[in-house]
Structure 1
Amino acid sequence: MRPVSMAEFFFGNETADHKRTHLEFYGPCDEKCKPILERMLGLDIVYQDEELVVVNKPAHLLSVPGRGEEKQDCIESRVRALFPQAPLQCAVHRLDMDTSGLLVLALTKHAHRALSLQFQNQSVDKQYVALLEGVLSSESGVITLPFRLDVENRPRQIYDELQGKWGTTRYKRLAVERLDNGMLVTRVLFTPHSGRTHQLRLHSSHPKGLGLPILGDRLYGTGMETRLHLHAQSLSFTHPTHNNRLHFMTKVPF
């Protein structure tokens, strides 16, 4: 069983400030309980304040709940367990289940509206690091491809010049590396200028893109590794209340 909350009962005489009464129930204490609860809930919190929280999502965990009881455990539900005051839908963007990295979630309705607008206006800066199967010959460039959902093979996306929506990604080759099994892979930095579903995965694998699937991609590649080697390394946006620019970066786990 996965714990979803912590609380305390008070035993003893009522305190002078009337904040504690004998046998009364009190919710989680922020000072002592919240750090413990973060670990118990499996949340890696990078930053939090009264308006928002930034977490480092592990691979193989949903960003938001899906259909069915088995798909209710996700970053959004864990954040709401830790922050009961958060809106019912506190996620303002998503990462694929198999992708790890930075996610920002809103703790107030105002923050949700403001952050959602930034994502819609593409004023949020994001960078991803990936390992590609094979050696990438070009050092850098821009990929612009139209694609759409393959309705007969959800959630896979397909290239479509007629009905697809365009997505743009800037890439930079960082290094060519050799895995323990002798396979050559290319470490790449991606800067997406749009936020389409599976954009980086399709732009990597499609022949009109880089032609090299991301290592571990079960939809667009061989899926030969235990995880998708794609990590949302950095995230930058404007604070919804203070209006200062916030920048976050995490260590790449591969």
Structure 2
Amino acid sequence: MHAAYSLLNFLGNSRSLLQLMPAGSIPTGTGDCCAPKLLHYAAANNLKPLAMAEFWWGVRSGDKIPGEFYGACADRCQPLMGFLLSGLAQNKSVNQQESRLVNSEFSSEPPTERSRETGLVCENNWLLLVDAEKKPISAIGTRHLSANSVRPLPEINISQIVPIIYQDRWSIAVNKPAGLLSVPGRYFDTQDSVQSRLQNLLEDGLNLLAVHRLDLETSGILLLARDKETYRQMSDLFAKKQVCKIYEAVLSGILKIDAGTIELPLRGNPENRPVQEVDLLYGKPSITRFQVIAREGNCTRIEFFPLTGRTHQLRVHAADARGLGMPILGDRLYGCRAAASRLHLHARELSFAHPQLGEMVHLQVETPF
């Protein structure tokens, strides 16, 4: 499919998805998302886009607000934009200052060669595709949009180094702080992440692929691969449950039992993302073992041993009445009302058989609470 599906730009050049998306991911423009499709259609039919913006239409959902403008999906649409906008000439009526922002012969090199493109900004009534240094790459006129209608490109906070706890020629592991995404999100204000910072700091950073994810509020060990083959092999270890993960948490309440296993199938709530919920009929199998470490005041310090890796698995298994019946301290999403400075959930240990070295790797970091 990647070799057969092609997109056309305004220079008349056509590239297959195999060329545009060498990592193998499928851009949302080949599904329901319209931005790449609209640009392809315009180029194929000799039409000139006058404005382009994506906005959320409907009730508020997660970080999406009705009427707000958002950028293309960072991982599946934005990599296409530099190619799709290549050759798009501006109106001759714009002044000389604006004309310097846009060139009708933009580079049409594939995104792998210009993979630091990170977003769109609005300047002088032009919607600019810019790179990580905010240098214009391409543009579309936006005379019907105010500069405040489009969110500026966020800064990637590379000054705050992510602590590297292990690395070799094939992989790297970091101690992710709470409040930092594992990988970039879809929107302008969710681009700062572990992966983004490492991409800017390491010589081979652009090749990094996160093997798994930690929630925004969760701290601890995050493993990344430095090449596609290692990523495939390490992802396979996680899929086959050959990775031992140990989390430490503090529950908001006193747990009476000392140890046990929770088996509650989970699914995402389609009406209230990113909330996950127990669904005994349609949920995906989710299993967590637990062991109490200590009871401290009105709280319980506990170890979690997840045997599956569902989104928010530990948080739901802790909070749901059919699980432990008490939320993790600081987890307001799942009902914790006690005052806390953060979510008290930490990925403390990670053990796996290294696919390249052929030996066991055991990683451990101190719990920060």
Report the TM-score range of the alignment, normalised by the length of the smaller protein: 0.7 to 0.9
Letter of the 1:150 partner, please give it: N
Render the CA deviation track for 1:49-102: whole Å, top value 9, x for unaligned. 111111000000000111111111101111222234245561010000000000
For the residues of structure 1 that align with 2:336 and 2:321, how far apart are their CA atoms?
A: 15
Letter of the 1:130 partner, please give it: A
Alignment of 1:160 onto 2:315: no
User: Normalising by structure 1, what TM-score?
Assistant: 0.80
Letter of the 1:187 partner, please give it: R
- Assess if the C-alpha contact under 8 Å between 1:136 and 1:210 holds in 2: yes
Match of 2:351 in 1: 236
1:120 deviation in Å?
0.9
RMSD: 1.6
- Assess if the C-alpha contact under 8 Å between 1:215 and 1:221 holds in 2: no
- Assess if the C-alpha contact under 8 Å between 1:87 and 1:109 holds in 2: no
For the residues of structure 2 that align with 1:204 and 1:65, how far apart are their CA atoms?
A: 27
Alignment of 1:250 onto 2:365: yes
- Assess if the C-alpha contact under 8 Å between 2:252 and 2:336 holds in 1: no
Render the CA deviation track for 1:180-220: whole Å, top value 9, x for unaligned. xxxx1000000000000000000000000000100000210
1:193 corresponds to which of 293, 297, 307: 307
Letter of the 1:131 partner, please give it: V
SS at match of 1:235: strand
Match of 2:266 in 1: 147
Letter of the 2:216 partner, please give it: M
1:125 corresponds to which of 205, 223, 244: 244
Letter of the 1:199 partner, please give it: Q
Letter of the 1:45 partner, please give it: I
Alignment of 1:135 onto 2:254: yes
2:230 corresponds to which of 111, 115, 121: 111
More strand by share: 1
Within 5 A, what are the aligned runs for 1:1-254?
Answer: 40-86=159-205, 88=207, 90-178=209-297, 184-222=298-336, 224-254=339-369
SS at match of 2:232: helix
Unmatched 5+ residue regions in structure 2? Answer: 1-157
SS at match of 1:165: coil
- Assess if the C-alpha contact under 8 Å between 1:87 and 1:106 holds in 2: no
- Assess if the C-alpha contact under 8 Å between 1:87 and 1:108 holds in 2: no
- Assess if the C-alpha contact under 8 Å between 2:177 and 2:219 holds in 1: yes
Letter of the 1:191 partner, please give it: F
SS at match of 2:197: helix
Letter of the 2:330 partner, please give it: G
For the residues of structure 1 that align with 2:220 and 2:350, how far apart are their CA atoms?
A: 9
Unmatched 5+ residue regions in structure 1? Answer: 1-38, 179-183
SS at match of 1:202: helix
- Assess if the C-alpha contact under 8 Å between 1:66 and 1:72 holds in 2: yes
Structure 1 residues 205 and 230, CA gap change in structure 2 (3 angstroms): same
Letter of the 1:235 partner, please give it: L
Letter of the 2:272 partner, please give it: N
Render the CA deviation track for 1:157-185: whole Å, top value 9, x for unaligned. 1111111111000000110112xxxxx10
User: Greater RCO between the two (CA within 8 Å, min separation 6)?
Assistant: 1
1:118 deviation in Å?
0.6
- Assess if the C-alpha contact under 8 Å between 1:213 and 1:221 holds in 2: yes
- Assess if the C-alpha contact under 8 Å between 2:208 and 2:227 holds in 1: no
User: Normalising by structure 2, what TM-score?
Assistant: 0.56
- Assess if the C-alpha contact under 8 Å between 1:45 and 1:53 holds in 2: yes
